[in-house]
């Protein structure tokens, strides 16, 4: 039977002084200075994730303000006020859970309670936890009281979801953001607790506890409670790993070596063992992502500064693995893992998906650097071109074919088609807005007659019919051809926007041939295409 006086670790070792709050020194020092100087705000807002000390700090602040020896930055923990606040039954310090008291009725009762003076202590303090759970009407009812409370009233609001609190509430409070607690500080705190409790566990098991906490002190203490209940010193690291769902570093090291050795069968066997032991395979995937991140960081920086809570043995393994591949290859691994993790939410076959992700990693070919490619190309023999055929007897050239009757004459250098092309180019250089509209219209030129064909009932028709536009076209025409054009506008039914005219297609083909000829004059580029049996692809930027 559990003794009535028994308390779990999280409650037994809850901070009672500002100095005992782990990982929030800036906040606690600020509050202590405010108490020492008598600059106490009427409302505080504590924000941050769960288990980082928000409510504990609120209680310590309440003790410091109502201590019979104070106000003091260091409450005595012996007077009736300090003892009652620590036990949660102080008559002048009301702790309200906003999740279960979220309506306007409860806030109206609070407003009525505010008007009464403290029964015994110096201040009447209201600690509202999870304040973001209040309804909109409750927030509105709290506004006026929060802005101008009686001199004896102090509000301390705590929340894990700041974005849900109206700005009208936030602006009336002095806000403190509680950070996630660093792993090293959680580790030292847990070691101190174990020493006080007279309990011993392995260092690796303690590191599992810290990693499972995710930066939350309360979660770390709850996880430590599990280990102590499981058997303390007699518990193996493997048991702790399974209990907390933390992947052992040995599994991660083995997995990376199998990937580097392309050991597909070994990878499947390892995942099978993890599955049989009850591990969450998505957690395994994410743990391996973190492992790859450590390798990349170590390879980029060459130091241990940014490696997150690793033992010397783990760092030695990471140092060894970092020399196996390039940074770019490790980044490819990380990108593939990230993509697989994002896709897991859509598949019911988590195991199969994780297996395929790691098999892909093991099948990735090594990347050759650009320098290696260029060196290989320069050392490769030039491709042998076929010899020209031997000269034979001259072949009589056939007589040129006569065009059939009625065929169109060939295009002369100064034909209307050439003049249209010159006219279009000049518009593009001199008038950007008109250049943007040219792909949507047709231009026809016959002597001095310039016909513009536009889609009917469109912006293009209205614009080209405008006198200013026609004047601009006329000026460009006169500058090019020293004659005044006769401009006419003709409409046509609308066509798809991606319709390509025949003249644009011809221009694109000519541009492709010109660029391809320039590219193939480069010896390295030509050798690269021949070496890899490549194919020339022309892509024009829009």
pLDDT tens profile 500-531: 454 566 666 677 777 677 666 666 666 767 76
Total domains in the chain come to 4
45, 109: one domain = yes
pLDDT at 500: 47
- What pLDDT does residue 499 have? 47
pLDDT at residue 411, rounded to an integer: 39
- Are both 23 and 161 inside the same structural domain? yes
- The verdict on 209 and 332 lying in the same domain is no
- The last residue of one of the domains, among 244, 262, 277, is 244
Residue 371, token pair as written in the block:
């320098």
Cα–Cα nearest to 58, from 90, 106, 102: 90
> Do 144 and 201 reside in the same domain of the chain?
no
In a domain, 235, yes or no: yes
Predicted confidence at residue 403, as pLDDT, reads 45
Q: Give a yes or no: residue 310 inside a domain.
A: yes
Per the structure block, which two tokens stand in for 239? Answer: 């048991």
Mean pLDDT across 270-294: 89
**Span 301-319, pLDDT tens digits:** 877 666 667 777 888 888 8
Q: Any idea what the CATH number is for the domain that residue 338 is in? A: 1.20.272.10
Tell me how far the alpha carbon of residue 39 is from its chain's centroid.
Answer: 40
For 443, the 3-state DSSP assignment is strand
Please give the residue range of the domain that contains residue 194: 181-244
CATH number at residue 189: 1.10.8.60
- Structure tokens of 184? 């090293």
Render pLDDT for 260-277 as a digit per residue (tens, 0 to 9): 999 999 999 999 988 888
Question: Mean pLDDT across the stretch 205-219?
Answer: 88
- Categorize the per-residue pLDDT at 365 as very low, low, confident or very high, splitting at 50, 70 and 90: confident
Q: Which of 24-28, 134-138, 366-370, 517-521 has the lowest mean pLDDT?
A: 366-370
Q: Is residue 139 domain-shared with residue 235, that is, in the same domain?
A: no
CA dihedral 314, 318, 319, 321 (to 10 degrees): 140
Sign of CA dihedral 233, 235, 241, 244: negative
Q: Please tell me which of 1-15, 101-115, 286-300, 457-471 the model is most confident about, judged by mean pLDDT.
A: 286-300
Are 149 and 233 contained in the same domain? no
Residue 162 and residue 24 share a domain: yes
Residue 453, domain CATH? 3.30.300.180
Q: Which of 23-27, 59-63, 95-99, 358-362 has the lowest mean pLDDT?
A: 95-99
End-to-end, the C-alpha distance of the chain in Å comes to 79
Widest CA span in the chain: 125
Order across the sheet with 93-97: list the strands: 93-97, 124-129, 153-159, 43-47, 174-177
- pLDDT band for position 217 (50/70/90)? very high
Residue 507 placed within a domain: no
Write out the E strands in 359-460.
442-446, 449-455
How much of the chain exceeds pLDDT 70, in percent? 80
Q: Within a domain: residue 519?
A: no
**Mean of all residue pLDDT scores within the chain:** 82
Question: CA 226, CA 242: separation in Å to the nearest integer?
Answer: 12
Q: Does the model's pTM come out above 0.75?
A: no
Half-sphere exposure for 8 (CA within 13 Å, toward CB): 13
CB count, 10 Å around CB of 205?
24
For residues 117 and 152, is the Cβ–Cβ distance under 8 A? yes
Decide if 103 contacts 110 (C-beta within 8 A): no
Query: Both 15 and 112 in a single domain?
Result: yes
Q: Is residue 114 part of a domain?
A: yes
Would 534 be classed as within a structural domain?
A: no
Inform me whether the pLDDT recorded for 372 exceeds 80.
no
The average pLDDT across 96-119 equals 85
pLDDT, position 36 = 92
Is residue 31 domain-shared with residue 106, that is, in the same domain? yes
Q: Using an 8 Å Cβ cutoff, are 133 and 99 in contact?
A: yes
Residues 155 and 124 reside in one and the same domain: yes
Report whether 424 contacts 452 (CB < 8 A).
no
374, 384 Cβ separation under 8 angstroms: no
pLDDT band at 56 (very low <50, low <70, confident <90, very high): very high
CA dist 60 and 127 (Å) reads: 11
User: Could you say which of 197, 224, 244 is where a domain stops?
Assistant: 244
- What's the CA gap between 269 and 275, in Å, rounded? 10
Same domain, 23 and 64: yes
Cβ atoms 473, 458 nearer than 8 A: no
Which of 196, 226, 244 represents a domain boundary (last residue)? 244
Residue 118 within a domain: yes
| Residues 487 and 338 occupy one common structural domain | no
Which of 168-177, 247-256, 433-442, 510-519 is the least confident region? 510-519
pLDDT computed for residue 143 by the predictor: 87
- Domain membership of residue 408 (yes or no) is no
- At 533 the pLDDT is 65
């Amino acid at each position: 039977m559990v003794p009535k006086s028994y308390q779990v670790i999280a409650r037994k070792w809850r901070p009672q002084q500002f100095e005992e709050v782990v990982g929030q020194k800036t906040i606690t020092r600020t509050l202590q200075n405010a108490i020492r100087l008598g600059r106490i705000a009427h409302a505080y807002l504590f924000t941050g994730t769960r288990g980082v000390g928000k409510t504990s700090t609120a209680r310590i602040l309440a003790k410091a303000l109502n201590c019979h020896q104070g106000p003091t930055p260091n409450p005595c923990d012996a007077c009736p006020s300090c003892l009652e606040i620590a036990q949660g039954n102080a008559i002048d310090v009301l702790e309200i859970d906003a999740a279960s008291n979220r309506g306007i009725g409860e806030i109206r009762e609070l407003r009525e309670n505010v008007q009464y003076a403290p029964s015994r202590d110096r201040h009447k303090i209201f600690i509202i936890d999870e304040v973001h759970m209040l309804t909109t009407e409750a927030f509105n009812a709290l506004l006026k009281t929060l802005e101008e409370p009686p001199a004896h009233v102090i509000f301390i609001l705590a929340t894990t979801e700041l974005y849900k609190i109206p700005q009208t509430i936030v602006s009336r409070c002095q806000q403190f953001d509680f950070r996630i607690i660093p792993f090293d500080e959680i580790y030292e705190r847990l070691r101190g607790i174990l020493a006080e409790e007279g309990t011993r566990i392995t260092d690796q098991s303690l590191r599992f506890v810290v990693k499972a906490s995710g930066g939350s002190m309360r979660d770390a203490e709850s996880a430590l409670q599990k280990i102590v209940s499981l058997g303390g010193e007699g518990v193996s690291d493997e048991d702790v790993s399974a209990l907390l769902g933390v992947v052992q570093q040995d599994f991660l090291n083995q997995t990376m070596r199998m990937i580097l050795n392309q050991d597909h069968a070994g990878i499947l066997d390892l995942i099978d063992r993890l599955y049989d032991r009850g591990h969450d395979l998505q957690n395994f995937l994410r743990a391996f992502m973190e492992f790859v991140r450590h390798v990349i960081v170590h390879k980029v920086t060459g130091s241990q500064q940014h490696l997150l809570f690793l033992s010397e043995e783990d760092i030695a393994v990471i140092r060894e693995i970092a020399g196996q591949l390039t940074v770019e290859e490790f980044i490819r691994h990380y990108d593939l893992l990230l993509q697989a993790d994002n896709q897991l939410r859509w598949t019911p076959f988590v195991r199969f998906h994780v297996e395929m992700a790691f098999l892909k990693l093991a099948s990735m070919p090594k990347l050759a650097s650009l320098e290696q490619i260029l060196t290989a190309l320069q050392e490769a023999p030039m491709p042998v071109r076929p010899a020209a055929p031997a000269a034979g007897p001259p072949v009589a050239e056939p007589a040129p074919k006569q065009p059939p009757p009625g065929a169109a004459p060939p295009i002369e250098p100064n034909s209307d088609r050439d003049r249209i092309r010159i006219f279009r180019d000049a518009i593009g250089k001199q008038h950007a807005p008109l250049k943007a509209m040219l792909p949507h219209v047709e231009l026809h030129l016959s002597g001095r007659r310039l016909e513009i064909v536009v889609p009917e009932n469109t912006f293009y028709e209205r614009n080209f019919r405008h006198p200013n536009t026609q004047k601009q076209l006329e000026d460009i025409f006169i500058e090019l051809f020293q004659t005044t054009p006769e401009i006419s506008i003709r409409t046509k039914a609308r066509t798809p926007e991606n319709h390509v005219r025949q003249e644009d297609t011809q221009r694109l083909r000519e541009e492709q041939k010109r660029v391809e000829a320039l590219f193939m004059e480069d010896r390295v580029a030509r050798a690269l295409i021949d070496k890899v049996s490549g194919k020339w692809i022309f892509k024009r930027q829009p």
